A and B are shown apart, each in its own frame.
Chain A
């Protein structure tokens, strides 16, 4: 299907039309950036483009389309390959649903306060770049679009550049993006081999040998994994994602991390050839570590958007564990189990893109209404922003993997995959699977704690600042965007079985088999992992059960008790205090968790400064936490680079004679090396 010419399946043609619309919006907005009305028109155009692209990709996914063509652009000889298969279509769907909802949110942005030439032209460009990564059919196109994606998102990260924190975030992000791309460049170089087969079809036809494959794997995990936010490379993510405007944060966290996961799946499951079992080990180790670590960071942090970013890190860990299990099962010839693990992974990509976008949009609404995102300045917003609060609650329950919402569906599938672990022939994998199962269980429980804390501190209780007390409900389009995502979270939770049957062909391609028993459950909506006698999760039945019992409870209680209610002051054991400072703060909420987990993971220590009797300065409690990932992997190399360049700086101020001397001795040295070598 990759011959020259422009024959393409209708799905691909329609998708390209949508993508072209993004490009047009970007150019249009960049040229007429002085006109606020043009900037405001970006979002309606993006909605249309995203709807077109999402529809086309859904059709391509359901129709298992595999279509592509070659354009005479890009590298000479190779050209530019465009390719849409089921894997691309699945991720194109994720991206464009994300763009669709965030663009609807963008409709409600304040024209005078929020629209700026630094954001609106780059929003469609960013959407365009993410789509291009997914439909690239050769390494050059992939890397080019990947870099475009990094740069456009970098512009959005530094769009509020007057804040020094945002500039720092942008700097770290740019450095990490560059290192990641270089690493991917090496990975594709390894895949292409000496012959320079940069087109994916050519790579697929001649997969590399085991040694090169291992190096490519390392390059892909480092390059794409750092983009996705895998620990310990994650430290840039909680800086960069929150720095962008909130609807862009939603795209970066909810969607761009999935593009990175697509890169890994494309390389490891498609281009790298037959898997070897030990490829799974880095995924399982890094994934399990990331899942727990991400949440421990999240549960101790006091910034709403940063908590969400850390929770993205955690979810990427879960996705990595799923990928690792799928890879291990596939390499061991257990294709049914591989399909279960892969289904869990793909569904989690989809689910996470929905609830993380929802949570970031809600955080954006809070930020807009109060101007604050620190937990110590929020509280009680459920009274002033009831709609946002209700949708955020849906998002929080989804991300905590609580039924009947969608997070639990992928979590459930993943545990079913873990349970297939005893079938592994290798003892290491048999040992690893209960260990990652335990880490996943810990992560799930920590996620609940993290989001109970986040929702409780931000929306419940009493306002902790004047801004929070005077907050206002967010604009209508933003409510619509959150409603759409919350609806998707609920539908995804109820009809996980249907979603799984829609991706069966994709599972066949990636895992080597479809899910064995889809549709054999007691109802058409049952989610069946291996076979109906082994495990079923039937969300619609449970939801009906919940509704029935809730209704029964309501009727019973109201029949027995009436609905007499009296309002009174809070009881609080008889000592209510009017100051909102007496309520539990975010730091006090996480103090027990810090005591239990913080000592080992963050080297947490507390020092109490207690004044002597008679001394009237206030006592204080100081908590020190170490972010080892930042200290060891970011700060230390950065110090080394700065130190080295300070020393080399002297080279800039030499005399002409010294320069000539240097050039001459370099020449001599090279000639000597050449003489010895050959």
Chain B
């Protein structure tokens, strides 16, 4: 029983950990970008201030918005939060890690995205529609690529459960596996697209020709916008966590190690997150935004990489095991 309580405690820690670090990760990325552009940049805690500011403001809702518009942000944040809480971060084998495997994780994110795209269409403005339409076009390429990536990794590890995948890859001898390398490339491209980062989308612009994510959420303000921003930041943390869980799982506290191993795991996780966020900042300053219709080719590339990865994993499975 005490063991169950410990695991439940660990799960609760993770739920609030991801929520707490998410704005900082966004802050680190922005700060890195600013420094590389020779700007001072906002302090890392600026996203927290923004969130609090948004929460304090009243929400201005368009007159013809429906109940869906008002309730969608809660659901979007809930879906994203649950997804982020289920990815193994600092320790594997927490209380509910088993409830959703990698496939279910992709679907949870898909649900959040579908709700966001619908919310963009609710007020009936041209910008909302443009954002939703492009977001769903991007998703039709990014989601299958991501699914193929997790299936590739699942195939290599022999399980779709993320904690077991992480443990398998930690324990496995370090060898270069072509299928995993291809899968990593694909997953990074998908992560860029899904988080509305350059070159697919630019989180810092409101230019109608290029907007995707920002166009969808244009009508939101106040607490609703705060929740959507929070969900976006959580999603970024989730993707970095997923990439490190699948491809760099070292340092994660093993399932049976108990709470004593958690601080080390936490430290390793935070270092990896900060590193990932900084890397994203460097990437964003070193590349230009793409035209929307070239995004199809870019993500098509991710899909092809992911497909090659799973094909290789299928054809070479006996050799590896």
Residues of A at under 8 Å CB distance from B?
A: 379-380, 382-383, 386, 389, 393, 397, 400-403, 408, 411-412, 415-416, 418-419, 421-422, 430-431, 433-435, 437-438, 441-442, 444-446, 448-449, 451-453, 455-457, 460-462, 522, 533-538, 541-542, 545-546, 549-550, 553-554, 557, 560-561, 564-573, 576-577, 580, 582-584, 588-593, 595-596
Q: Are B81 and A549 in contact (CB under 8 A)?
A: yes
By a CB distance below 8 angstroms, the chain B residues around A421 are 314
Q: Are A561 and B222 in contact (CB under 8 A)?
A: yes
By a CB distance below 8 angstroms, the chain B residues around A445 are 110, 139-144
Q: Are A557 and B227 in contact (CB under 8 A)?
A: yes
Q: Are B107 and A536 in contact (CB under 8 A)?
A: no
Q: Are A534 and B314 in contact (CB under 8 A)?
A: no
CB distance from A417 to the nearest CB of B (A): 12
Q: Give B138's nearest chain A residue, CB to CB.
A: A592
Q: Give B154's nearest chain A residue, CB to CB.
A: A419
Q: Are A397 and B111 in contact (CB under 8 A)?
A: yes
Beyond A567-B62, A570-B64, list 15 extra A-B contacts (CB 8 Å). A397-B111, A415-B147, A422-B318, A431-B314, A437-B310, A445-B143, A445-B144, A448-B140, A460-B122, A535-B103, A541-B99, A542-B108, A568-B61, A572-B123, A573-B218
Q: Are A568 and B293 in contact (CB under 8 A)?
A: no
Q: Give B117's nearest chain A residue, CB to CB.
A: A452
CA distance A508 to B147 in the complex (A): 30
Asked, given contacts A444-B144, A553-B74, A584-B121, whether A541 binds B96 with beta carbons under 8 Å apart, the answer is yes
- What are 19 contact pairs spanning A and B, CB under 8 A? A380-B64, A402-B107, A435-B311, A437-B148, A449-B137, A456-B129, A460-B124, A533-B161, A535-B159, A537-B101, A537-B104, A545-B86, A546-B79, A557-B74, A557-B223, A567-B60, A567-B61, A571-B125, A593-B136
Asked, given contacts A549-B81, A557-B227, A588-B129, whether A455 binds B101 with beta carbons under 8 Å apart, the answer is no
By a CB distance below 8 angstroms, the chain A residues around B143 are 441, 444-445, 448
Which of B68, B81, B144, B222 contacts A460, CB < 8 Å?
Answer: B68
Selected interface stretch from B34-42, B51-59, B268-276: B51-59
* Interface majority SS (helix, strand, loop, mixed), chain B: helix
Asked, given contacts A412-B103, A461-B121, A573-B206, whether A453 binds B218 with beta carbons under 8 Å apart, the answer is no
Q: Are A538 and B98 in contact (CB under 8 A)?
A: yes
Q: Give B100's nearest chain A residue, CB to CB.
A: A542
CB distance from A104 to the nearest CB of B (A): 26
Q: Give A538's nearest chain B residue, CB to CB.
A: B99
By a CB distance below 8 angstroms, the chain A residues around B110 are 400-402, 444-445, 448
CB distance from A132 to the nearest CB of B (A): 39
CB distance from B247 to the nearest CB of A (A): 19
By a CB distance below 8 angstroms, the chain B residues around A545 are 82, 85-86, 96, 99
Asked, given contacts A386-B67, A537-B101, A542-B82, whether A400 binds B114 with beta carbons under 8 Å apart, the answer is yes
Q: Are B137 and A592 in contact (CB under 8 A)?
A: yes
By a CB distance below 8 angstroms, the chain A residues around B63 are 567-570
By a CB distance below 8 angstroms, the chain B residues around A584 are 121, 126, 128-130, 132-133
Q: Give B130's nearest chain A residue, CB to CB.
A: A584
CA distance A442 to B299 in the complex (A): 13
By a CB distance below 8 angstroms, the chain B residues around A533 are 159, 161, 164
User: Using an 8 Å CB-CB cutoff, how does the interface string of B111-123 with A read, 1 for contact, 0 for none?
Assistant: 1011001100111
Residue B66 at the A interface, CB < 8 A? yes
Q: Are A561 and B137 in contact (CB under 8 A)?
A: no
Residues facing A in B63-83 (CB within 8 A) are: 63-64, 66-68, 70, 74-75, 77-79, 81-82
Q: Are B99 and A536 in contact (CB under 8 A)?
A: yes
CB distance from B217 to the nearest CB of A (A): 11
CA distance A570 to B69 in the complex (A): 12
By a CB distance below 8 angstroms, the chain A residues around B121 are 452, 456-457, 460-461, 584
CB distance from A604 to the nearest CB of B (A): 14
By a CB distance below 8 angstroms, the chain A residues around B204 are none
CA distance A422 to B151 in the complex (A): 12
Which 3 A/B pairs are nearest by Cβ-Cβ distance? A584-B129, A461-B124, A441-B144
By a CB distance below 8 angstroms, the chain A residues around B108 are 403, 542
CB distance from B79 to the nearest CB of A (A): 7
CA distance A537 to B97 in the complex (A): 11
CA distance A564 to B54 in the complex (A): 12
Q: Are A431 and B315 in contact (CB under 8 A)?
A: yes
Q: Are B144 and A452 in contact (CB under 8 A)?
A: no
Residue B15 at the A interface, CB < 8 A? yes
Q: Give B312's nearest chain A residue, CB to CB.
A: A434
By a CB distance below 8 angstroms, the chain A residues around B61 are 565-568
CA distance A674 to B206 in the complex (A): 84
By a CB distance below 8 angstroms, the chain A residues around B67 are 382, 386
Q: Are A431 and B100 in contact (CB under 8 A)?
A: no
Which of B137, B226, B300, B310 contacts A434, CB < 8 Å?
Answer: B310
Q: Are A415 and B103 in contact (CB under 8 A)?
A: yes
By a CB distance below 8 angstroms, the chain B residues around A565 are 58-61, 70, 222
CA distance A354 to B58 in the complex (A): 41
By a CB distance below 8 angstroms, the chain A residues around B218 are 571-573
Q: Are B124 and A403 in contact (CB under 8 A)?
A: no
By a CB distance below 8 angstroms, the chain B residues around A446 are 140
By a CB distance below 8 angstroms, the chain B residues around A460 are 66, 68, 118, 121-122, 124
Q: Give A446's nearest chain B residue, CB to CB.
A: B140
Q: Are A449 and B140 in contact (CB under 8 A)?
A: yes
Residue B160 at the A interface, CB < 8 A? yes
By a CB distance below 8 angstroms, the chain A residues around B78 are 546, 549-550, 553
By a CB distance below 8 angstroms, the chain A residues around B154 are 419
Give the residue among B58, B60, B104, B122 with the most A Cβ atoms within 10 A. B104
By a CB distance below 8 angstroms, the chain A residues around B81 are 549, 553
By a CB distance below 8 angstroms, the chain B residues around A393 are 68
CB distance from A72 to the nearest CB of B (A): 53
CB distance from A389 to the nearest CB of B (A): 8
Residue B317 at the A interface, CB < 8 A? yes
Asked, given contacts A449-B139, A557-B55, A572-B218, whether A380 binds B124 with beta carbons under 8 Å apart, the answer is yes
By a CB distance below 8 angstroms, the chain B residues around A572 are 123, 125-127, 218-219
Q: Give A448's nearest chain B residue, CB to CB.
A: B114
Residue B134 at the A interface, CB < 8 A? yes
Give the residue among A452, A565, A580 with the most B Cβ atoms within 10 A. A452
Residue B158 at the A interface, CB < 8 A? yes
Residue B296 at the A interface, CB < 8 A? yes
CA distance A593 to B62 in the complex (A): 29
CB distance from A551 to the nearest CB of B (A): 9
Q: Give A590's nearest chain B residue, CB to CB.
A: B133
By a CB distance below 8 angstroms, the chain B residues around A550 are 74-75, 78
Q: Are A534 and B136 in contact (CB under 8 A)?
A: no
Q: Are A383 and B66 in contact (CB under 8 A)?
A: yes
CA distance A490 to B82 in the complex (A): 19
CB distance from A157 to the nearest CB of B (A): 32
Residues facing A in B307-321 (CB within 8 A) are: 307, 310-311, 313-315, 317-318
CA distance A422 to B129 in the complex (A): 42
Q: Are B101 and A570 in contact (CB under 8 A)?
A: no
CB distance from A136 to the nearest CB of B (A): 38
By a CB distance below 8 angstroms, the chain B residues around A418 are 151
Residue B292 at the A interface, CB < 8 A? yes
Q: Give B140's nearest chain A residue, CB to CB.
A: A445
By a CB distance below 8 angstroms, the chain B residues around A462 are 64, 124
CB distance from B270 to the nearest CB of A (A): 22
CB distance from B91 to the nearest CB of A (A): 18
Q: Are A402 and B111 in contact (CB under 8 A)?
A: yes
CA distance A533 to B159 in the complex (A): 7
By a CB distance below 8 angstroms, the chain A residues around B50 are none
By a CB distance below 8 angstroms, the chain B residues around A419 are 151, 154-155, 160
CB distance from A131 to the nearest CB of B (A): 35
Q: Are B59 and A566 in contact (CB under 8 A)?
A: yes
Q: Give A407's nearest chain B residue, CB to CB.
A: B107
Q: Are B160 and A583 in contact (CB under 8 A)?
A: no
